[in-house]
Amino acid sequence: MPRPQAALSAPQAKAAGFPADTLSMRALLLLTLLLLSSPTIAGQRHYLAALDQSEWLHKADAGSCYLSHPIPRFGVALFSVNQALEFHLRLLVDWPAATDGTAELHLTAPHWRSEPEQLVRKVRYRGERDAFLFNHYISRQLFTALEQGRRPALRFADWFRRGAVQVSLSPVYFRQASMAFDRCVRRLVAASPEGYGGHANLLRAYEPPPRITDQEPPRLYFATDNAGLDRPAMERLEEIAQELLHRSAWDRVLISGHADVRGSVAHNRRLSLQRAREARDYLVKLGLHPARIQIRAHGEAMPAKTGPRPLDLAANRRVVLEIETLTDWEKASDQRALNALRLLHSADATTP
């Protein structure tokens, strides 16, 4: 970086034909810009588009909407929505890390709002050019934060030298570009065919994820006549498992499977059971004990929505997870049932 020229003294400024106060103001402005664009702040390398560099660019093709933000000397942030209405934010880096790792995701309020910085969560990155990929929930949260003038920031250990790195997304000029992006998304929603599976993705993208401590239990959505877990559903189950594995005040996960009204009663019941089993098996794979998970199949009997619209049907193709804390009486009752089951298996084993 070229070194800034030294500010002229008052006599030199006067001799050059500049008022001294004008030179002082220019020197102060130059110093401020240098501080804002400095790659290191208190030992931390900071990548952020300066005020005169920040731009958000909206593009669209036949089946997708994009909103990109160049980050000088680091890469590009890219919001995208595709025909399946999957909403993602990814960071494409110029120089990938050699290995995978973790980073902290923070939100910083504008300086005129006296709000503390918020640690959103820890996230993983990959040693690839497509280093950071955020799911529906986090992507929407960061999109909303930028609309509010807040600044998302990632902090992690420097990939190539000792020290720390912060990568920030600038909210400058975001709102203007986001309006065009939203119009593009609405066109995708209007063109999304029934049964494509995208309506379930729309529910996930535009509804914040309920935490398992909320009154509203977590829900997973499914494509038509399908019991497979897609990537957002698996990510949600991973979040639930991670929280439960570090939390002692729970006893049982009750998983309820549901289906929409299309198909026979028997078929819908089998389908809802398959969906509940898929969620249970994935939680067990993540480390939860199977004895603490119960499943139920309701078929089409307990709809979340009763209308005929595609979004109503998508809301009914779901699995609901309820986290229960049992009373002492319920625990004793469950233990008695478990003991009886063990005795029954023991008797079967000894019967010739």
Q: How far apart are CA 168 and CA 104, in angstroms?
A: 12
* Straight-line distance from the first to the last Cα atom of the chain, in angstroms, rounded to the nearest whole number: 87
Q: Which two tokens stand for residue 234?
A: 């698996």
Residue-range domain boundaries for the chain: 57-178, 194-332
- The answer on pLDDT for 48 being more than 90 is yes
pLDDT of 174: 94
pLDDT of 275: 96
Q: How far apart are CA 124 and CA 122, in angstroms?
A: 7
- The answer on pLDDT for 80 being more than 70 is yes
- 138 confidence band (pLDDT: 50, 70, 90): confident
pLDDT of 22: 44
- 66 confidence band (pLDDT: 50, 70, 90): very high
Level-2 CATH architecture, domain 57-178 = Sandwich (2.60)
**Gyration radius from the chain CA atoms:** 27
Q: Widest CA span of the chain, in angstroms? A: 114
pLDDT of 115: 77
Domain 194-332 bears CATH identifier 3.30.1490.150: no
pLDDT of 16: 44
Burial letters 285-310, b for 16+ CB under 10 A, else e? eeebeeeebebebbbbeebeeeeeeb
* Of residues 334 and 266, more confidently modeled: 266
**5: three-class secondary structure by DSSP:** coil
pLDDT of 248: 58
Pairing, β 130-134 against β 219-221 = unpaired
- What is the chain's mean pLDDT, rounded? 78
* Residue closest to 82 by CA, chosen among 173, 171, 183, 202: 202
Model confidence pLDDT, tens digit, residues 235-262: 889 888 877 776 655 678 899 999 999 9
pTM of the model: 0.49
Burial letters 6-28, b for 16+ CB under 10 A, else e? eebeeeebeeeeeeeeebeeeee
Model confidence pLDDT, tens digit, residues 256-313: 999 999 999 999 999 999 999 999 999 998 888 888 899 999 999 999 888 888 888 8
88 and 132 Cβ atoms separated by less than 8 Å: no
pLDDT of 345: 54
- The answer on pLDDT for 113 being more than 90 is no
Strands of 205-309, DSSP E: 219-221, 252-257, 293-297
**276: three-class secondary structure by DSSP:** helix
142 and 134 Cβ atoms separated by less than 8 Å: yes
Kindly state the average pLDDT of the residues 37-58. Answer: 77
Model confidence pLDDT, tens digit, residues 146-198: 988 899 999 999 999 889 999 999 999 998 899 999 888 888 877 765 433 44
Q: How far apart are CA 77 and CA 261, in angstroms?
A: 41
Q: Same topology for domains 57-178 and 194-332, yes or no?
A: no
pLDDT of 239: 83
Is 66 exposed, middle or buried, given 0-12, 13-18 or 19+ CB atoms closer than 10 A?
Answer: middle
